[in-house]
């Protein structure tokens, strides 16, 4: 099954997408992730001003039958958290690339070098 | 360990099922979506391939007496062609398995057991036969089992000419023929809805499956089956009941008939004081999952969730939970500890979703 992977985004091995604008990284979950999870019914996101470290869990996404942690690929401070998703988490199923989760102000912009390109992410999905 | 395969495995894969190991079998977990499958069964009709379940036959003069001896529920007084749900207990009252015993005839009983317990049950049951004139056979490998569930299941089975013309009440069974093949048809299920279970020879499962697909019956996997049974408040072996508890710990007192003259476990169960109480809870917010703690306002832990899910029908988290009966009454304010945060849990004595079974 073909999953959408917009070219202008970067990706993580945890099946998140990332968009860099200046020193702010916007994160969401990929089409592959939402499809694997199935019907998303619950979302827990951090408060604004929370500090997160690279590799740390910043929230939780739950489908009917599963609970998955959300991991940050970077170090920084949460400057926005998408509270709409807490109310209507199913948006992540219907429009994964419009349903951003958090915006992180990066402590070190060079950390984005560890993100995957579309090509590398495709390879990662094929191996999954 | 090699997984056992269902005779319909290729059908499931072709229909896009996500497969997973369960009780030693490679089973369909979900097809389209758990939500769609749950709603199909609640509102229309769905089919589950549950061929992993075990089928034992008890035949002979003492067939009824034998079943009545090994199970805690009353089998002897059940009507002809009726089904009886019961725990199967050890002498100390702990639960080996739960099963349905079907009264096929004066000298013939079918028992349907959980896939993960087939060997354990067989070892136990075959050791209890000494004083009984019966023959016990394990035909788990030669039967497929399809569960057709939902308010439209009766109409569909009539349309494909499996259902008899005569009255076929809830929780009963009959042996019938379809295109010359012998089938056993039961009006039982595990969803809370009206529905049927068809025990058929392995080589007939494909024919039956194709007939159901042609009628647009929705294929459903184990994930939606679990949501449906939790919504209906039904226990599942390995969760609400297991080797370490008695039926009295798991809200199954109604299945323990202490007025029966004699049965395995009677002495122990007659004086047993329950150590656990199985309750149903519904959350305003948050989803309870197996293993989460049940706590009081002051954080004292009084139990844990045995099965939990988001209810598709209610849109709320629901769970079955084992609590300490000395620390809980239905007025007690309780919470579920979800990732170190307390979520209020409301006690309910009724099924979360009352299905339409007849």
A39 at interface of B, judged by CB pairs closer than 8 A: yes
**Cα(B179)–Cα(A100) distance, integer angstroms:** 56
Contact between B308 and B226 under an 8 Å Cβ cutoff? The reply is no
Contact state of B287 with A39 under an 8 Å Cβ cutoff: no
CATH of the domain at B73: 3.30.70.1400
Whether residue B28 sits in one domain with residue B147: yes
SS3 at position B176 = strand
- DSSP secondary structure, B259-316, as one string: TSS--TTHHHHHHPPPS-EEEEEEESSS---TTPEEE-TT--EEEEEEEEEE-TTTSS
Residue-number span of the structural domain to which B73 is assigned = 55-127
* Residue among B34, B286, B339 whose CB faces A65 most closely: B34
The string of pLDDT tens digits covering residues B75-94 is 999 999 999 999 999 999 99
> A128 or B80, which is more confident?
B80
Quick check: is B238 in a domain? no
Local confidence band at B1 (pLDDT 50, 70, 90 cut-offs): low
Whether residue B292 sits in one domain with residue B313: yes
What integer pLDDT is reported at residue B358 of this predicted model?
54
Return the sign of the alpha-carbon dihedral for residues B295, B280, B277, B225. Answer: negative
**Cα(B219)–Cα(B30) distance, integer angstroms:** 8
Report the domain count for chain B.
3
Contact between A73 and A18 under an 8 Å Cβ cutoff? The reply is yes
CA distance A84 to chain B (A): 16
- Which chain A residue's Cα is nearest to B38? A64
Contact state of A41 with B30 under an 8 Å Cβ cutoff: no
Local confidence band at B165 (pLDDT 50, 70, 90 cut-offs): confident
Distance of CA A40 to the CA centre of its chain: 14
Q: What percent of chain A has pLDDT over 90?
A: 95
Beta bridge partners, B111, equal B56, B101
Mean pLDDT of the A57-84 span: 96
| All domains of chain A in start order, with CATH | 10-109 (2.40.50.100)
The string of pLDDT tens digits covering residues B257-273 is 999 999 999 999 999 99
Whether residue B146 sits in one domain with residue B47: yes
A90 at interface of B, judged by CB pairs closer than 8 A: no
**Cα(A48)–Cα(A80) distance, integer angstroms:** 6
Residue A68: CB atoms within 10 A of its CB come to 18
**Cα(A46)–Cα(B154) distance, integer angstroms:** 49
Quick check: is B248 in a domain? no
Quick check: is B242 in a domain? no
Contact state of A60 with B223 under an 8 Å Cβ cutoff: no
Please name the residue ranges forming H helices in chain B: 9-14, 34-43, 63-70, 118-125, 153-159, 205-214, 222-231, 266-271
The ipTM value here is: 0.89
Residue B125: CB partners within 8 Å, gap ≥ 6? B56, B70, B88, B136
* Residue among A38, A41, A60 whose CB faces B339 most closely: A60
Contact between B265 and B91 under an 8 Å Cβ cutoff? The reply is yes
Angle at B51 between CA B49 and CA B54, to 5 degrees: 145
Residue B124: CB atoms within 10 A of its CB come to 17
B289 at interface of A, judged by CB pairs closer than 8 A: yes
Whether residue B220 sits in one domain with residue B156: yes
Contact between B31 and B37 under an 8 Å Cβ cutoff? The reply is yes
Whether residue B226 sits in one domain with residue B146: yes
Whether residue B37 sits in one domain with residue B146: yes
CA dist list (Å): B128 to B76, B123, B135, B136:
17, 9, 12, 11
Mean pLDDT of the A85-109 span: 96
Q: Residues of A with CB below 8 A from B33's CB? A: 38-39
B34 at interface of A, judged by CB pairs closer than 8 A: yes
SS3 content of chain B, % helix, strand, coil (to 5): 20, 35, 45
The string of pLDDT tens digits covering residues A35-65 is 999 999 999 999 999 999 999 999 999 999 9
């Amino acid at each position: 099954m073909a999953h959408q992977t917009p070219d202008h985004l970067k990706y993580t091995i945890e099946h998140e997408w990332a968009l860099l604008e200046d020193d702010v990284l916007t994160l969401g979950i990929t089409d592959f992730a939402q499809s694997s999870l199935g019907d998303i019914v619950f979302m827990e996101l951090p408060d604004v001003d929370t500090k997160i470290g690279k590799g740390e869990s910043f929230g939780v996404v739950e489908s009917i039958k599963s609970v998955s942690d959300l991991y940050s690929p970077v170090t920084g401070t949460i400057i926005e958290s998408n509270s709409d998703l807490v109310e209507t988490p199913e948006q992540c199923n219907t429009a994964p690339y419009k349903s951003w989760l958090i915006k992180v102000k990066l402590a070190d912009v060079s950390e984005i070098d560890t993100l995957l390109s579309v090509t590398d992410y495709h390879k990662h999905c094929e191996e999954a | 360990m090699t997984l056992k395969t269902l005779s319909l495995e290729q059908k499931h894969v072709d229909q896009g099922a996500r497969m997973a190991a369960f009780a030693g079998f490679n089973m369909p977990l979900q097809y389209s979506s758990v939500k769609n499958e749950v709603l199909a069964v609640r509102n229309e009709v769905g089919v589950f391939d549950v061929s992993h379940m075990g089928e034992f036959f008890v035949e002979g003069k003492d067939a009824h007496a034998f079943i009545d001896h090994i199970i805690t529920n009353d089998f002897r007084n059940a009507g002809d062609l009726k089904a009886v749900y019961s725990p199967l207990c050890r002498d100390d009252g702990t639960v080996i398995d739960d099963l349905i015993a079907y009264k096929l005839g004066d000298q013939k009983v079918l028992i349907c057991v959980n896939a993960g317990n087939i060997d354990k049950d067989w070892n136990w049951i075959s050791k209890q036969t000494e004083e009984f004139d019966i023959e016990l056979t394990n035909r788990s490998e030669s039967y497929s089992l399809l569960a057709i569930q939902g308010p439209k299941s009766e109409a569909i089975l009539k349309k494909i000419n499996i259902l008899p013309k005569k009255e076929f009440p809830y929780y009963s069974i009959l042996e019938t023929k379809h295109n010359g093949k012998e089938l056993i048809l039961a009006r039982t299920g595990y969803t809370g809805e009206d529905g049927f279970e068809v025990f058929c020879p392995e080589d007939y499962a494909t024919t039956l499956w194709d007939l159901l697909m042609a009628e647009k019956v929705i294929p459903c996997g184990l994930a939606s089956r679990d949501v449906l049974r939790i919504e209906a408040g039904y226990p599942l072996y390995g969760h609400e009941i297991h080797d370490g508890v008695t039926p009295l710990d798991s809200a199954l007192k109604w299945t323990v008939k202490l007025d029966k003259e004699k049965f395995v476990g009677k002495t122990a169960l007659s004086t047993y004081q329950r150590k656990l109480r199985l309750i149903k809870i519904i959350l305003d917010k948050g989803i309870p999952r197996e293993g989460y703690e049940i706590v009081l306002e002051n954080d004292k832990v009084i139990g844990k969730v045995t099965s939990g899910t988001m209810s598709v029908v209610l849109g709320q988290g629901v769970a079955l939970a084992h609590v300490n009966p000395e620390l809980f009454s239905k007025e007690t304010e309780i919470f579920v500890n979800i990732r170190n945060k307390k979520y209020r849990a409301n006690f309910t004595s009724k099924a979360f979703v009352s299905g339409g079974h007849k």
